[in-house]
Amino acid sequence: MDTIPNSPAARDIAYFFHPVTNARRHEQVGPRIIERGKGIYVYDDQGNEYIEALAGLWSVAIGFGEPRLAKAAAAQMEKLPYYHSFSHKSHMPGIELSERLVKMAPVKMSKVFYTNSGSEANDTAIKLVWYYNNAIGRPKKKKIISRIKAYHGITIASGSLTGLPLNHRDFDLPIANILHTSCPHYYRFGRDGESEEDFATRMAQDLEDLILREGPDTVAAFIGEPLMGAGGVIVPPKTYWEKIQKVCRKYDLLIIADEVINGFGRTGKTFACETFNIKPDMMVLSKAITSSYQPLAAILFTDAIYQAVADNSNKIGSFGHGFTASAHPVVLAVAMENLNIIEERKLIQNAAAMAPVLQNGLRRLSDHPLVGEVRGMGLIAAVELVADKATKKPFDPIGKVGSWVFERAHDHGLIIRAIGDSIAFCPPLIIDAAQIEEMISRFRKTLDDAQAWLRQQG
Ligand SMILES: Cc1ncc(COP(=O)(O)O)c(C=O)c1O
């Protein structure tokens, strides 16, 4: 760490409290200051280059340093830098993006509501579910079912939907009426001799049992990432979504598809709802919608929900929910230009074409002594490191090796994400085959280092 008292590092430690960071460790190691980005690369203030193998936080679809987004933001700032959309006000970026998203949606959606983050979007989805059920005279039907290892955000309600211990512990979460059903990770939770399809049947049965235990007239909705991201990149087992949706329909649960990571090409199709044939009542989008050049999330919902919500807003005077920066015109102008670029450069087609290069390339690491499972689809994947390949025994403590690998990867010019001991990959959608091979080669070197380190440790 740079210890000059007035250095950027020292000032960072003095003033900047970092999200999702061990604060005491940060005082010792200080920040890695990222200064600029270009394409799939970012550069720190020491001039080091890194492949951004997680596209920031699963989000920079078009890559870093795209001047067209800067121009779109500047043009909108000059014309109308801000306006709200409360009380019947509107603006062209709001009208245009809403029309575009509804037309892009894989199932018939009616309206779009905007927030500044995925967390706020999932809070909004919960509020819409509650408002809707009150509107149609089902005031008891309020519980929402999420899953163990889900990630849906960190605000009080969305953080409750999240099914990860570190996001709950000591924050007094989850709140009441949010439940978690089983995690559909076949490698970890499949039983000996159980086929993937049988595992999916058991997952659907677990959901049905939970609904019956709680009382179907109290359970309002099921929320899921089509392919789970921040919980470890968990690809649903074959037939999972078909069976889960059947249970939801049987007990009249709304289905909320959280496409915050999956949306806009990540699984090789525009939306993962297409990949897994999911017919949601609500879809939550964010991240790649602006390639995270600006903060934005969108909730799309069906006409059945809209009609009930509209009637209720009329009955009680208003739909009393919205943010100062909901549908911020500069942010939406950036989203429009970002979607133009995704279309013009055929980035979703590129994700589909590059998928085998990434997936097969990472699977070639399966023979590495540390690698337990390689999983993924499209341009998202994870490599799970284990202490014993044969028994799938995890390292003790879980996460120690993952953290070491995450740190060491920087020395090989690679930024990845460690989720426990699963190493996640989610590169910008612009990545080409040579860059994927280079990314995997840097990762293999890191794994070899990890193996040497573990041997040293005995
Ligand atoms: C699937 C999913 N939903 C919601 C969120 C929360 O989004 P935000 O961090 O913008 O609040 C995330 C963030 O990673 C996510 O992956």
Nearest C-alpha to atom 8 of ligand 1 is from which residue? 118
How far apart (Å, rounded) are the C-alpha atoms in residues 44 and 27? 19
* pLDDT value at 453 more than 70: yes
pLDDT tens by residue, 321-348: 999 999 999 999 999 999 999 999 999 9
How far apart (Å, rounded) are the C-alpha atoms in residues 445 and 241? 37
Please, are residues 422 and 456 in contact by the beta-carbon 8 Å criterion? no
Distance, CA 43 to ligand 1 centroid (Å)?
A: 25
Could you tell me the two tokens for 200?
């999916």
Which parts of 317-346 fold into alpha helices (H)? 329-344
Give backbone dihedrals phi and psi of 75, rounded to 5 degrees, phi first: -65, -45
Q: How confident is the model at residue 2 (pLDDT cuts 50, 70, 90)?
A: low
Q: Which of 147, 151, 158, 273 is the best mutation target for the ligand 1 pocket, counting ligand atoms within 8 Å of the beta carbon and taking the most?
A: 151
Which numbered atom of ligand 1 lies nearest the CA of 120?
11
Distance, CA 258 to ligand 1 centroid (Å)?
A: 9
Nearest C-alpha to atom 7 of ligand 1 is from which residue? 118
Q: What percent of the chain has pLDDT over 70?
A: 99
Cα 141 from chain centre: 27
Ligand 1 contacts (CB < 6 A) are 57, 117-119, 122, 151-153, 225, 229-230, 258, 260-261, 286
pLDDT tens by residue, 415-446: 999 999 999 999 999 999 999 999 999 999 99
* pLDDT value at 293 more than 70: yes
pLDDT tens by residue, 166-182: 999 999 999 999 999 99
pTM for this one? 0.98
Distance, CA 315 to ligand 1 centroid (Å)?
A: 33
Distance, CA 260 to ligand 1 centroid (Å)?
A: 6
Give backbone dihedrals phi and psi of 161, rounded to 5 degrees, phi first: -65, -40
Encode 285-304 in three state secondary structure. Answer: ECHHHCCCCCCCEEEEECHH
Q: What pLDDT is attached to residue 4?
A: 62
Nearest C-alpha to atom 3 of ligand 1 is from which residue? 152
Which parts of 169-226 fold into alpha helices (H)? 186-189, 196-214
Q: Considering only CA atoms, which of 355, 263, 361 is closest in space to residue 61?
A: 263
* pLDDT value at 298 more than 70: yes
Residue holding tokens 């889960």? 244
Distance, CA 147 to ligand 1 centroid (Å)?
A: 15
